[in-house]
């Protein structure tokens, strides 16, 4: 514990001088970086619009209420599409993520030097790219529609599901696997009776958690033409139909809250 003697009195300090200086230097660099970045942003900004923002915000807010409740008849189907995109996309992701997870886990991968890095690269690539960008790409490849959205959600979710799943696989109790192996089980049987029962609760939890996130993400896929309620949102925004926008936002909010509730209940029941 660093003590400083000053006028014969010992004063306690939290850190030694060198460490204190290093921390100050780090703060200085961080602040300088932030100030520089802020200036770049500031130069690219039309400040006139920003000073005008409160008026615009009040204007838009005024136009948004009351919501146009009659529009609700037109959003049931897109809402159903949105839920389908999220659910089918999650299923697609699970089908692809399970093998990737087994290839990426240190204790189940067939080759640590060759296969594991490839599996990890798949995970990182899938996680790095947002579902909207996947959707943008798929819309330009297979055309607009629900299918593009489903595949986009699927591709985006592989990384998430596989990462959490392979961490769960790495944390299993090796004694159980050993016990099954000792009975003379083949590798498939070791998998089925030694590993799978241990990760099944984690797997179910991860899948439901991702489904919940996917409901959230699939609400905006329509902005790039990949189906769901985002299409309606885009259409309403394009014609500046703010009361419809409000209603759609309320619908999205309800779907998100509902899916979060379902996911919490299911995870609570499993764990």
Partner 1 sequence: MGDAAFDAARWRPPPLIKNPRLRWALGLGAALYLAIAIGALDVNWLRVYEGLDRGLAFFLAFTEPDFSQRWNDIRAGLIESLVMTVTSTVIGIAISVPIGLGAARNIAPLPIYLLCRGIVAVSRSFQEVIIAIFFVAIFGFGPLAGVLTLSFATIGFLSKLLAEDIEDIDRGQAEAVRATGARWLQLMNYGIQPQVMPRLIGLSLYRLDINFRESAVVGLVGAGGIGATLNTAFDRYEFDTAAAILMTIIAIVMAAEYLSGLIRARVQ
Q: Alpha-carbon torsion 174, 176, 179, 185, what sign?
A: negative
List residues near partner 1 by CB under 8 A: 30, 33-34, 37-38, 40-42, 44-46, 49-50, 53, 56-57, 60, 80-81, 84, 87-88, 91, 124-125, 127-130, 132-133, 136-137, 140-143, 145-147, 150, 193, 197, 200, 204, 216-217, 219-220, 223-224, 233, 237, 249, 252-253, 256-257
Q: Which is nearer to partner 1, 108 or 150 (CB)?
A: 150
CB of 55 to partner 1, least distance (A): 10
| Distance in angstroms (rounded) separating the CA atoms of residues 187 and 192 | 9
Residue 182 in tokens: 């000792």
Return all residues near 25 (Cβ < 8 A) that are at least 6 apart.
none
CB of 218 to partner 1, least distance (A): 10
From residue 91, give the alpha-carbon distance in Å to each of 94, 98, 131, 143, 257.
5, 11, 15, 22, 21
Torsions phi, psi of 9, nearest 5?
Answer: -100, 140
CB of 48 to partner 1, least distance (A): 8
CB of 249 to partner 1, least distance (A): 7
CB of 157 to partner 1, least distance (A): 14
Q: Is 68 left (phi over 0), alpha (psi -120 to 50) or beta?
A: beta
From residue 218, give the alpha-carbon distance in Å to each of 74, 84, 107, 207, 226.
18, 9, 34, 16, 9
Q: Which is nearer to partner 1, 136 or 247 (CB)?
A: 136
Q: Which is nearer to partner 1, 7 or 76 (CB)?
A: 76
Q: Which is nearer to partner 1, 17 or 63 (CB)?
A: 63
């Amino acid at each position: 514990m660093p003590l400083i003697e000053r006028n014969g009195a010992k004063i306690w300090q939290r850190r030694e001088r060198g460490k204190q200086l290093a921390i100050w230097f780090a703060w200085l660099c961080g602040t300088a970086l932030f100030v520089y970045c802020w200036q770049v942003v500031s130069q690219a900004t039309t400040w006139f619009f920003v000073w005008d923002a409160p008026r615009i915000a009040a204007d838009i807010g005024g136009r948004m209420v009351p919501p146009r409740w009659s529009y609700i008849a037109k959003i049931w189907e897109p809402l159903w599409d949105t839920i389908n995109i999220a659910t089918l996309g999650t299923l697609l992701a699970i089908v692809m993520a399970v093998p990737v997870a087994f290839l990426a886990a240190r204790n189940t991968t067939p080759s640590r030097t060759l296969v594991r890095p490839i599996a990890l690269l798949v995970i990182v690539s899938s996680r790095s790219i947002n579902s909207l960008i996947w959707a943008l790409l798929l819309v330009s490849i297979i055309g607009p529609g629900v299918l593009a959205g489903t595949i986009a959600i699927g591709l985006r979710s592989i990384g998430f599901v596989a990462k959490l799943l392979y961490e769960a696989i790495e944390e299993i109790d090796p004694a159980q696997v050993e016990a099954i192996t000792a009975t003379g089980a083949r590798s498939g049987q070791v998998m089925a009776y030694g590993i799978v029962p241990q990760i099944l609760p984690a797997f179910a939890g991860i899948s439901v958690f991702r489904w919940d996130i996917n409901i959230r993400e699939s609400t905006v896929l329509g902005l790039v033409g990949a189906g769901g309620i985002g299409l309606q949102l885009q259409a309403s925004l394009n014609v500046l139909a703010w009361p419809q926008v409000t209603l759609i936002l309320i619908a999205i909010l309800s779907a998100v809250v509902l899916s979060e509730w379902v996911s919490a209940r299911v995870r609570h029941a499993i764990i």
